[in-house]
Chains A and B, each alone.
Chain A
Amino acid sequence: MTLKRSTARRGKTHFDPIDLEVLWNRLITVVDEAAYAVIRTSMSKVVVEGRDFGALLLDPKGRLVAADVSIASKTGTISIAVKELLKYFPANSLKPGDVLATNNPWWVMGHLNDVAVVAPLFHKGRLVGFAECMAHMADIGGCLSGPPREVYEEGLIIPPVKAMEGGRENPVFFAMLGANVRVPHQVLGDVRALVVGCRVMEAKLSEFLAEQRMSDLSGLADAILRKSRHAMRQGIRETIPDGIYQGSTSVDGFAQPLHIHARVEVRDGNVKVDFAGSSPQSDQGINCTLVYTAVWSTYTIKCLAGPHVPNNEGTFSPIQVTAPPGSFLNPRFPAPVRMKPSSGHYIPDAIIDALKDVIKDQILAESGNKFLVDFAGRDEADRPYSDVMFIMGGMGARGSKDGLHCMSFPANSSNLPVEILEATIPVRVLYKRIRPDSGGAGRYRGGCGQEFAFESVSATPLTVRAVHGKLSTPPGGLRGALPGAAGALLMNDKPIPDKTPRVMHRGDVMRLIVPGSGGMYPARERETAALMRDIENGIVTIESAVRDYALPRAAASVK
């Protein structure tokens, strides 16, 4: 019994399912190595701890072949930066050691803080692909004193530019960048870290190709994209029946609510999501460029139909996302975009609303999202301080199980310990507790939101901005279940609008009431044991059990 040994893989397009598994994972490790190189060389908290960056490997045509898996925050991105940059700098004009940069929100991740650095990758003198490393910069300049009405006010726009040429830094670029940001040391350090990431990817990819005796990635990339596309389409076929579906939701906006309308067309494993009918673009920074709209749209389809297919162009290719130019989900330049999450995070709700009747169990009701709270001020010794924290709402009930309490969906993050918060910012937390009855009643109950209150203990003014995006409408339930509880933001017991900075003085109390989430299926179908457990644990009150779950009052009081 023997195995045939293959000779050199030059031009090989067929890989057996074992070789492909091995090579694919090694290729992802190549990208991971680049990601760790970025972490090791960055000095900013956003990158090192928030892991708010990504490393991507693309083929010479600009197709995404592999994304790092160890860092979750930016994967799933549909950056089109490489394709756009190549229009300015054609591939055949690029030389080893060249590195391009841009932060165009219409190409990268939807706001100026995300800077992408792109390097051509050469192996034995041949262009074999591109590395794209991008990260959220600690600052990108711009106006902080009022709400920007144009992207120009939001910071420095980096046009397609060579950050490095033939391995040498472009001094003009670095000087311009350094002069326009508040923390040049960190920002220039992070851009250099991204360059290092690209360099490491080139070295590791070259090693990989030499080891595998491959002259380029073309055959392997085709195989990876083909398999991924096939798996994704298969997943879509198994999850979503063919058809055209309409769904909608709304977000708070500023003067009036913004409407999201999704038309989802599914044909044989391909999905087209179109947002015609959504509200026009806003003059406030809550617009989502199409790249960002596509991120949350594809994320949603992936969650529903193919959660564990690796991220690459093949995985995303069955999903097409469009939105009418001039709508807030595809705004025209120079619309302001800085606060995109406060609207973009609700895109999944509209898509799920469209599909709610045709998907079986792989679905969830509307979630309560989260508050992003930023603090800034100067202490008594006039030293500046600032920090950011997240306060989560409930995650919607799933197709076959309860929702999760205090768990943000779709964007993921983690909380800031109260003990750390109090040691860093002059506040005292009065309570941080689950909101009973905020999870929508259903056979599967929605996850509860929370209530968080803090008091300023500072002798100097403390500026606080709490951003949520959707407090006034309760997160909806699905399939006959009740919605979760809506949210609110209060200062000294008076409602205040979110997304707007407020100055707090000693003794002022801010209360963040984060929405719960919707339930799934009618509440009367809930198992009694599950309901009793919720009552015992104080997640559901007896009043709600009687009112929403139709529990006989006698049964409730026996307990």
Chain B
Amino acid sequence: MKIRQQGATRRARFALGVDIGGTFTDFALMNTSSGEVHAAKVLTNYKDLTQAVLDGVRQLAASIPGSPAAIERVIHGTTLATNALIQRKGGRTVLLVTRGFRDVLEMGRESRFDIYDINLELPAALVPRKHVFEIDERIDYTGKVAVPLALAQAREVIAEIKKQGVDAIAICLLHAFRNPQHERALAALIKRELPRVPISLSSDVMPDIREYERASTTAANAYVQPAIRGYLDRLAAGLKGEGISAPLSIMTSDGGIVSCETANRYPVRLIESGPAGGAMASAFYAAAAGMDKVIALDMGGTTAKVCVIDEGKPEQSTEFEVDRVFRFAKGSGLPLKIPVIEMIEIGAGGGSIAGVSKLGLLKVGPGSAGSDPGPACYGLGGAAPTVTDADLFLGYLDPQYFLGGQMPLDREAAARAIDEHVAKPLGVSVLRAAWGVHEIVNENMARAAKVHCLERGKDPREYTLIAYGGAGPVHAYRVAKILGIKTIFYPLRAGVMSAFGFLVTAPSFEMIRADLAPLESADAVRINAFLREMAAAGKALVATCGVAMAKLSTVIEANMRFAGQSFELSVPIKGALGKRELVKAKQRFFDLYKARYHRLNRDVPVEIVSWRVIVKGPAPKVKMDTVHQPDGGARVKALKGQRKVFMPEAGAFVNCPIYDRYALRAGARLMGPAVIEEHESTVVLGPDAAIEVDQYCNLRVRLAGGKHKARRVC
């Protein structure tokens, strides 16, 4: 993707980010001294995920001689844990629970995610009822032992488990987050009998209150553990075989990096590593370009993800759902209580299928043609019209320059699919139908982003949109118009944002511990004691990434709420915890609450529900790369030519200039309408766009404003 090849000089040092996605495995190899980034994409090999990684490493090694030995860091993100959960291909897992609560997983939240759908289904529990065993013991809500652990009965259960055979064991006892002694004692008993079987304790994996979510998370951790262990071992060995001696680190869902050792212990934390990488890259650009309020829009082949980034920090959450049975519906998946970057996912991607709804109206998504058979224009047997087909028909994509020309597209096939499945049934022209598909997928994304902002008390109009993913730059302009957003930022390397994001992320680990108490009567001495313990444990974990203890920083936050509420806000604790700091924390809670809900009720007491300790290493120093700048004689002409592109403002196809993104000069200013092409994506801009190219070939686009008036095309 760069124009000048440098080769590795003797002093060059590299960092490698590798992201295994659904279709492609992406690579970003950065020369850490120059900031130069080499990108590569290899088709993901589902039979052996390590294969694509090693293939890509070989490819990069061939083009940058000496690079393997000069790589100092390898950061990896993988969908392996997610796939194991969704496809139910994890190990044979057993769950031990308190007597009387065998059905904790089976019952779940006892709630229907769709009130009208009488045929609704929920995902099957990861551990079937027959593999859940009850243990005689009880701890009360204060952490006191109410019924001692029945050792003899526990031994019988363990003997039975041993007889049946097991790959992993999860233990989740009631109130274990307050007192882990029974869970630990059970683990010790098991270790004696089954020394090789990995054990996940709820008091270790996620010591938070609410037994179902904690058990679900602990079971998921155990369930994917055997697969992750084998995979990371193989990958590490494979990389060594390629001459990379740098340690392997792993990206986590909350935008942190951990060692293989930590990843093996808490594999459930890897679930959303790819999207987290994209969000971290957005945060990096936001900080670098001085953008305080950013909405990141990552639109790929099957879905779009939206993430809010305020002051360079992506929104965090500890609520996540995997394996949603009814795609994208809240409550239809398995809940995981893990630190994650908060994103909403919408069934809107290049492969989203268009059709006619029961109401006789045009619908786009959430069903997707994926990459196989893919959109009709791929010519791989897909007959259903997709968003990509519409984009191609409207002239936004160049049939000869898709994926940099690697994959010619068939415009006629796109037109036929749209005509047959959308235009004819609706009684409109093919053009009206194609524009309709484009406009409705944009409406869907804008609506989801708007609701996401509303829920957080944020106004999207104050934000800058960062667009990436294969389809993000094609659609961002119109999405911004609908949301009333005035500025769009198009970073370079839209196709490998996640892998690039891995390179700008700091090692870190977050711990949570529930300790429900009114703020007024919080026992600072006891809390300080466990916070110190948590910090020490976190430091030890982050140090396994090879960071010196002295360079670690610790952030403490209290999750607080008004008494009786069931959701919390994270409030930073800035000094030593004592009366005075608690008073300040309460004020900070009020401020945060007011910012989100625009109202306060000071009469209601405030509670602390849980504590978060985040240990962070230093962020890698990343130099942005300016090498794309064509020098002197080698200047490539940026204007590639013109083609007919549909602009609703004109209600017609207009002659639109087409630019080569890599040939744009720093400081160049262009006006829309314009189409700017790069290998993995295309930026499409309407007439009111004022485009500015920065020195790193990122585009900053300002919209003159005025709502989307010319949408009225019939």
Instruction: Tell me if A405 is interfacial: C-beta within 8 Å of chain B.
Output: yes
If A40-B457, A537-B128 touch, does A428 touch B146 (CB 8 Å cutoff)?
Answer: yes
Complexed CA–CA distance, A43 and B431 (Å): 50
Instruction: Tell me if A433 is interfacial: C-beta within 8 Å of chain B.
Output: yes
Complexed CA–CA distance, A39 and B209 (Å): 25
> Does A49 contact B435, Cβ atoms closer than 8 Å?
no
Instruction: Tell me if A64 is interfacial: C-beta within 8 Å of chain B.
Output: no
B78: min CB distance to chain A, Å: 32
If A18-B440, A307-B118 touch, does A414 touch B211 (CB 8 Å cutoff)?
Answer: no
If A3-B651, A307-B117, A433-B100 touch, does A419 touch B210 (CB 8 Å cutoff)?
Answer: yes
Complexed CA–CA distance, A422 and B141 (Å): 6
> Does B141 contact A303, Cβ atoms closer than 8 Å?
no
Complexed CA–CA distance, A536 and B99 (Å): 19
Q: Which of B81-89, B561-569, B671-679 contacts A (4 or more CB under 8 A)?
A: B561-569
B 230-274 contacts with A by CB, 8 A:
none
Instruction: Tell me if A211 is interfacial: C-beta within 8 Å of chain B.
Output: yes
Tell me which of A405, A413, A415 contacts B106 (CB under 8 A).
Answer: A405
Instruction: Tell me if A158 is interfacial: C-beta within 8 Å of chain B.
Output: no
Instruction: Tell me if A380 is interfacial: C-beta within 8 Å of chain B.
Output: no
If A43-B604, A211-B707, A414-B111 touch, does A18 touch B436 (CB 8 Å cutoff)?
Answer: yes
B 390-414 contacts with A by CB, 8 A:
none
> Does B359 contact A25, Cβ atoms closer than 8 Å?
no
Instruction: Tell me if B11 is interfacial: C-beta within 8 Å of chain A.
Output: no
> Does B359 contact A309, Cβ atoms closer than 8 Å?
yes
Residue on A with the closest CB to B711?
A22
Complexed CA–CA distance, A234 and B210 (Å): 44
Tell me which of B360, B443, B603, B713 contacts A17 (CB under 8 A).
Answer: B360
A 390-430 contacts with B by CB, 8 A:
390, 392, 398-401, 404-409, 412-415, 417-420, 422-423, 428-430
If A390-B110, A392-B110 touch, does A1 touch B362 (CB 8 Å cutoff)?
Answer: no
Contacts of A309 in B (CB 8 A): 358-359
> What per-residue 1/0 map shows which CB atoms of B653-667 lie under 8 Å from chain A?
100000000000000
> Does B103 contact A49, Cβ atoms closer than 8 Å?
no
Instruction: Tell me if A257 is interfacial: C-beta within 8 Å of chain B.
Output: no
> Does A422 contact B129, Cβ atoms closer than 8 Å?
no
> What per-residue 1/0 map shows which CB atoms of A299-317 lie under 8 Å from chain B?
1001110111100000000
> Does A18 contact B210, Cβ atoms closer than 8 Å?
no
> Does A417 contact B118, Cβ atoms closer than 8 Å?
no
Tell me which of A418, A433, A450, A539 contacts B211 (CB under 8 A).
Answer: A418
B 113-137 contacts with A by CB, 8 A:
114-122, 128-130
A 329-372 contacts with B by CB, 8 A:
362-364
If A48-B565, A72-B115, A408-B110 touch, does A18 touch B432 (CB 8 Å cutoff)?
Answer: yes
Complexed CA–CA distance, A43 and B565 (Å): 10
> Does A3 contact B431, Cβ atoms closer than 8 Å?
yes
Complexed CA–CA distance, A467 and B362 (Å): 45
Complexed CA–CA distance, A409 and B117 (Å): 11
> Does B450 contact A29, Cβ atoms closer than 8 Å?
yes
Contacts of B119 in A (CB 8 A): 362, 398-401
> Does A539 contact B428, Cβ atoms closer than 8 Å?
no
> What per-residue 1/0 map shows which CB atoms of B426-461 lie under 8 Å from chain A?
111101110110011001000100110011010000
> Does A412 contact B122, Cβ atoms closer than 8 Å?
no
Contacts of A430 in B (CB 8 A): 100
Tell me which of B101, B358, B443 contacts A231 (CB under 8 A).
Answer: B358
Residue on B with the closest CB to A36?
B454
Complexed CA–CA distance, A74 and B273 (Å): 38
> Does B110 contact A21, Cβ atoms closer than 8 Å?
no
> Does A3 contact B107, Cβ atoms closer than 8 Å?
no
Tell me which of B426, B567, B598 contacts A40 (CB under 8 A).
Answer: B598
Contacts of B116 in A (CB 8 A): 299, 302-303, 307-308
Contacts of A415 in B (CB 8 A): 107, 109-111
> What per-residue 1/0 map shows which CB atoms of A1-43 lie under 8 Å from chain B?
1111110010000001111111011100100110010011111
Interface-central residue, A21, A70, A392, by most chain B CB under 10 Å: A21
> What per-residue 1/0 map shows which CB atoms of B132-152 lie under 8 Å from chain A?
000000101100001000000
Instruction: Tell me if A434 is interfacial: C-beta within 8 Å of chain B.
Output: yes
> What per-residue 1/0 map shows which CB atoms of B576-617 lie under 8 Å from chain A?
000000000000000000001111010110000000000000
Tell me which of A4, A230, A363, A423 contacts B141 (CB under 8 A).
Answer: A423
Instruction: Tell me if B363 is interfacial: C-beta within 8 Å of chain A.
Output: yes
Tell me which of B109, B427, B454 contacts A33 (CB under 8 A).
Answer: B454
Complexed CA–CA distance, A9 and B357 (Å): 24
Instruction: Tell me if B637 is interfacial: C-beta within 8 Å of chain A.
Output: no
> Does A1 contact B110, Cβ atoms closer than 8 Å?
no
Instruction: Tell me if B516 is interfacial: C-beta within 8 Å of chain A.
Output: yes
A 68-116 contacts with B by CB, 8 A:
70, 72, 76
Residue on B with the closest CB to A423?
B141
If A4-B713, A18-B428 touch, does A231 touch B110 (CB 8 Å cutoff)?
Answer: no
Complexed CA–CA distance, A45 and B457 (Å): 18
Contacts of B223 in A (CB 8 A): none
> Does A2 contact B106, Cβ atoms closer than 8 Å?
no
Tell me which of B99, B110, B565, B714 contacts A45 (CB under 8 A).
Answer: B565
How many residue-residue contacts, CB under 8 A, span A and B?
Answer: 228
If A20-B361, A303-B116 touch, does A413 touch B111 (CB 8 Å cutoff)?
Answer: yes
Complexed CA–CA distance, A363 and B714 (Å): 41
Contacts of A308 in B (CB 8 A): 116-117, 358
Instruction: Tell me if B634 is interfacial: C-beta within 8 Å of chain A.
Output: no
> Does A539 contact B432, Cβ atoms closer than 8 Å?
no
> What per-residue 1/0 map shows which CB atoms of B316-349 lie under 8 Å from chain A?
0000000000000000000000000000000000
Residue on A with the closest CB to B567?
A49
B207: min CB distance to chain A, Å: 12
> Does A2 contact B118, Cβ atoms closer than 8 Å?
no
A 459-489 contacts with B by CB, 8 A:
none
> Does A417 contact B212, Cβ atoms closer than 8 Å?
yes
Contacts of B128 in A (CB 8 A): 537
Complexed CA–CA distance, A399 and B140 (Å): 43
Complexed CA–CA distance, A43 and B111 (Å): 24
> Does A5 contact B710, Cβ atoms closer than 8 Å?
yes
> Does A450 contact B107, Cβ atoms closer than 8 Å?
yes
Instruction: Tell me if B73 is interfacial: C-beta within 8 Å of chain A.
Output: no
Instruction: Tell me if A228 is interfacial: C-beta within 8 Å of chain B.
Output: yes
Residue on A with the closest CB to B439?
A22
Residue on A with the closest CB to B712?
A6
> What per-residue 1/0 map shows which CB atoms of A533-559 lie under 8 Å from chain B?
000111100000000000000000000
A408: min CB distance to chain B, Å: 7
Instruction: Tell me if B635 is interfacial: C-beta within 8 Å of chain A.
Output: no
> Does B451 contact A70, Cβ atoms closer than 8 Å?
yes
Instruction: Tell me if A189 is interfacial: C-beta within 8 Å of chain B.
Output: yes
Instruction: Tell me if B700 is interfacial: C-beta within 8 Å of chain A.
Output: no
> What per-residue 1/0 map shows which CB atoms of B359-401 lie under 8 Å from chain A?
1111100000000000000000000000000000000000000
Instruction: Tell me if A497 is interfacial: C-beta within 8 Å of chain B.
Output: no
Instruction: Tell me if A126 is interfacial: C-beta within 8 Å of chain B.
Output: no
Tell me which of A189, A227, A405 contacts B359 (CB under 8 A).
Answer: A227
Contacts of A406 in B (CB 8 A): 103, 106-107, 110
B485: min CB distance to chain A, Å: 15
Complexed CA–CA distance, A243 and B217 (Å): 51
A429: min CB distance to chain B, Å: 7
Complexed CA–CA distance, A375 and B621 (Å): 57
User: Which B residues are closer than 8 A to A by beta carbons?
Assistant: 99-103, 106-107, 109-112, 114-122, 128-130, 138, 140-141, 146, 174-175, 209-212, 356-363, 426-429, 431-433, 435-436, 439-440, 443, 447, 450-451, 454-455, 457, 516, 564-567, 596-599, 601, 603-604, 648, 651-653, 707-714
A-B contact pairs, 10 of them (CB 8 A): A3-B435, A5-B651, A40-B598, A235-B358, A308-B358, A401-B119, A412-B111, A418-B101, A432-B101, A434-B103
User: Which A residues are closer than 8 A to B by beta carbons?
Assistant: 1-6, 9, 16-22, 24-26, 29, 32-33, 36, 39-43, 45, 48-49, 70, 72, 76, 185, 189, 211-213, 227-228, 230-231, 234-235, 299, 302-304, 306-309, 362-364, 390, 392, 398-401, 404-409, 412-415, 417-420, 422-423, 428-434, 450, 536-539
